[in-house]
Amino acid sequence: MIKCLIFDCDGTLVDSELICNLGLEIQLREYNIETSANDMMKKYRGGKLAEILKSIEEEHNIVLKDNFVKNYRELIELLFEKKLTACEGVNEMLQNIDLPICVASSGPTKKINKALSITGLKKYFNENIYSSYEINSWKPDPEIFLHAAKEMGFYPNECLVIEDSMKGIQAGLAANMKTVLYDPMYVHENIEGVYKINGMNELKDIISTHNNG
């Protein structure tokens, strides 16, 4: 039985993945690195920022300045205010979900709250927001999902994870949770043991099948 839904944020609730990588693209121009936000999104989707930056340093043989992350976060806030929207169908889906819900994201709490506030989604989650930065554990490790389940008061096998990245899917499976891959662009193959949806309106059928089947 599904009793609680655990949502990733970036790329699942809010259409932010490209924006975040656009911020990296802009910041890296200072280092004479010309790269594509689309390419970086494919390469780094769902990853921990510190690991992404380490990979960039190694690939381009550079050392990023101490203020790189601070400047990047500030730039992302500005880009969010100008460009960020909720993923298609998310508002309607959340309006019709009659189960406890929360967010479990690899992003910092401030960024999650900002994204949800700008897109009008914060009202659905209130304070049920959990960040990898709070527990110092990032996907594909399952700890952020296990932490969210515990805080929400549910066992892992009572939770359904909704994710858009492979790291998130791996974390959901490792947490022994029912797991959904949100794939609106049809870029992923089917994964054994994982539900796949292309639109958020399909989520209600998965819940109904489990809880009423």
Mean pLDDT of 96-103: 96
| pLDDT score of 20 | 93
42 versus 10: the higher-pLDDT residue is 10
| pLDDT score of 11 | 94
Mean pLDDT of the chain: 95
Query: In the structure encoding, which two tokens stand for residue 7, read together?
Result: 């949502």
For the ranges 90-94, 133-137, 139-143, 183-187, which has the lowest average pLDDT?
A: 183-187
- Phi and psi torsions of 82, nearest 5°: -90, -35
The answer to pTM > 0.85 is yes
The angle formed by the CA atoms of residues 130, 135 and 140, to the nearest 5 degrees, is 80
| pLDDT score of 213 | 65
| pLDDT score of 187 | 86
For the ranges 9-23, 34-48, 112-126, which has the lowest average pLDDT?
A: 34-48
**Catalytic pick from 8, 10, 15, 164?**
8
Query: 12 near 182, Cβ under 8 Å?
Result: yes
Mean pLDDT of 60-80: 96
Percent pLDDT > 70 in the chain is 100
| pLDDT score of 169 | 97
Nearest one of 89, 143, 135, 78 to 111, comparing CA atoms = 78
Buried b (16+ CB within 10 A) or exposed e, 119-140: bebbebbeebbbbbbeeebbbb
Give yes or no: 141 in active site.
no
| pLDDT score of 46 | 81
| pLDDT score of 92 | 97
Mean pLDDT of 106-112: 95
| pLDDT score of 87 | 97
For the ranges 59-63, 88-92, 187-191, which has the lowest average pLDDT?
A: 187-191
